[in-house]
Amino acid sequence: MKKRFKNVNIALPLILFVLIGFTACSTDSDGAIIIEEEAGEEEASITELSSAFDQFSDAVTVILSSDGTQIDIETTGFPNHRSIYWETDNTLYEDEPNVRKTTENTFIGGGRGEASSFTVDAIPDLTGATVATELGTIGIAVSGSAIFNDQEGMGDLDEAAGSLDWAGAHKGPGVYHYHLEPTPITSDDDSLVGILMDGVFIYGRQCSSTGTNPTDLDASGGHTSTTQYETEAIYHYHIINEVYPTGSYAYEPAYVLFAGPFQGY
- Per residue in 21-35, pLDDT tens? 333 333 344 444 333
Q: What percent of the chain has pLDDT over 90?
A: 58
What would the mean pLDDT of 214-231 be, rounded to a whole number? 94
Separation of alpha carbons 259 and 200, rounded Å: 14
User: Position 153: which residue type?
Assistant: G
User: Which domain, by its residues, includes 171?
Assistant: 1-265
Enter the pTM of the model.
Answer: 0.82
Read off the amino acid at residue 116: S
Mean pLDDT of 56-75: 96
CA distance 92 to 80: 8
Rg value, the chain, Cα? 18
Q: Judging by beta carbons within 10 Å of its beta carbon (0-12, 13-18, 19+), is residue 181 exposed, middle or buried?
A: buried
Report phi then psi at 195, rounded to 5.
-130, 140
Number of domains in the chain: 1
- Assign 98 a pLDDT band (cuts: 50, 70, 90): confident
φ and ψ at residue 180, rounded to 5 degrees? -110, 170
